[in-house]
Amino acid sequence: MRAAVLFGPRDLRVEEVPEPSPADGEVIVEVQAATTCGTDVKMWRHGHRVLPPYPCRFGHETAGVRIDTGERVLVSDSVACGACGPCRSGRPQICRSPTWVLGGFAERIAAPAAALHPIPDGLPAEAAAMAEPLAAAVHAVARGTDAGDVGILGGGPMGLMLAGLLLAQGRSVTLSDPHAARRRQAEELGARAVEGLDDRHELVFEAVGRAEAWREAAAAAGVGGVVVLVGGCPTGTEVSFQAGPLHYEELEFRGSFHHSPEEVDEALAVLAADGALWRTLRGRTISLEELPGALRTRSRGPAKKWVVDPRRLPA
């Protein structure tokens, strides 16, 4: 079968590889759609802590069909150990030894049955694949509060997903992004869009992943506000904050990482109920062979996720 194989930083080749052989508890899934995200770009550019040694496979937003039962499934990108401290206290998203399930950029993938989630009827595979990042947005919203007035920093896929979820709950959302095309996407979802967060908000989400953005999110929090930090910064990043507001205004900072299996099912239900989010984020459908070029493309336009369909043959 064909698979995208990462041989080193920026060295991605599509190769003929042996068929996956399922280990105990694993099943084979025929991939129909694997969406790309910022993490894939990071993995391609300089590796990532969850990648196995080179040469390795990646692609973690994967939807397809179980070969054994014919059921349509989303392949979640991790299975928590169930035994560590966080797992035992009901926080599988920060499991200390999860099994990562990577390799969606291939015709087939062997995945633990525990990583599979049934796709609701009528939801296309390319939309279902987005349930993986959307589940992280569902988790981030749960890490926040029920404040009616929310600010979001960043109009990439994560910021827009957060906006969609919060708007569906009837909250008032202001999203900031320097790119006009992304502000337009936020407005189409029903948010107010600005170039930089000007007002202060009861609840602020940071969805950029840079030290300046973390500071800006903190500065945009109103008195007694909560800041949810969703964007992952490069390893080793240090962020400094004004101590005053943290103390005198009792600001609260909360990290948000990943998702639980229940949040993946919730994300699938959200996508099945309302097509607006995946329609705005859906980018071009490409073959495996077009993936290296797609990862090299830096977009200043709208936030889009490429949809890799490994069944497509090179043009």
Longest Cα–Cα distance of the chain, Å, equals: 61
Q: Considering only 73-81, 148-156, 159-167, 251-259, which stretch makes contact with Zn ion by CB under 5 A?
A: 73-81
Distance of closest approach, residue 87 Cβ to Zn ion, in angstroms: 3
Distance of closest approach, residue 6 Cβ to Zn ion, in angstroms: 15
Phi then psi for 271, rounded to 5 degrees? -65, -35
Residue 84 is a binding residue for Zn ion (CB under 5 A): yes
Residue 87 is a binding residue for Zn ion (CB under 5 A): yes
What are the structure tokens assigned to 156, written together? 């990439």
What part of residues 117-156 is at the interface with Zn ion (CB under 5 A)? 133
145-175: buried (b, 16+ CB within 10 Å) or exposed (e) per residue? eebebbbbbbbbbbbbbbbbbbbbeebebbb
Residue 94 is a binding residue for Zn ion (CB under 5 A): no
Residue 102 is a binding residue for Zn ion (CB under 5 A): no
**Contacts of 8 by beta carbon, 8 Å cutoff, 6+ apart:** 54
Q: How far apart are CA 156 and CA 151, in angstroms?
A: 14
Among 1, 39, 283, 292, binds Zn ion (CB under 5 A): 39
Residue 180 is a binding residue for Zn ion (CB under 5 A): no
State which residue, 12 or 203, has the beta carbon closest to Zn ion.
12
What are the structure tokens assigned to 216, written together? 């800006």
Among residues 162, 183, 134, which one has the least CA distance to residue 305? 134
Distance of closest approach, residue 95 Cβ to Zn ion, in angstroms: 3
State which residue, 84 or 114, has the beta carbon closest to Zn ion.
84
DSSP lists the bridge partners of residue 14 as 4
Bond prior to 55 in cis (omega within 30° of 0):
yes
Among 12, 37, 63, 109, binds Zn ion (CB under 5 A): 37
Distance of closest approach, residue 243 Cβ to Zn ion, in angstroms: 34
Residue 41 is a binding residue for Zn ion (CB under 5 A): no
Site for Zn ion (CB under 5 A): how many residues? Answer: 8
Distance of closest approach, residue 49 Cβ to Zn ion, in angstroms: 15
Distance of closest approach, residue 83 Cβ to Zn ion, in angstroms: 6
Among 65, 80, 152, 308, binds Zn ion (CB under 5 A): 80
DSSP lists the bridge partners of residue 254 as 228
Q: How far apart are CA 285 and CA 296, in angstroms?
A: 16
Phi then psi for 282, rounded to 5 degrees? -70, 120
Binding site for Zn ion (CB under 5 A): 37, 39, 80-81, 84, 87, 95, 133
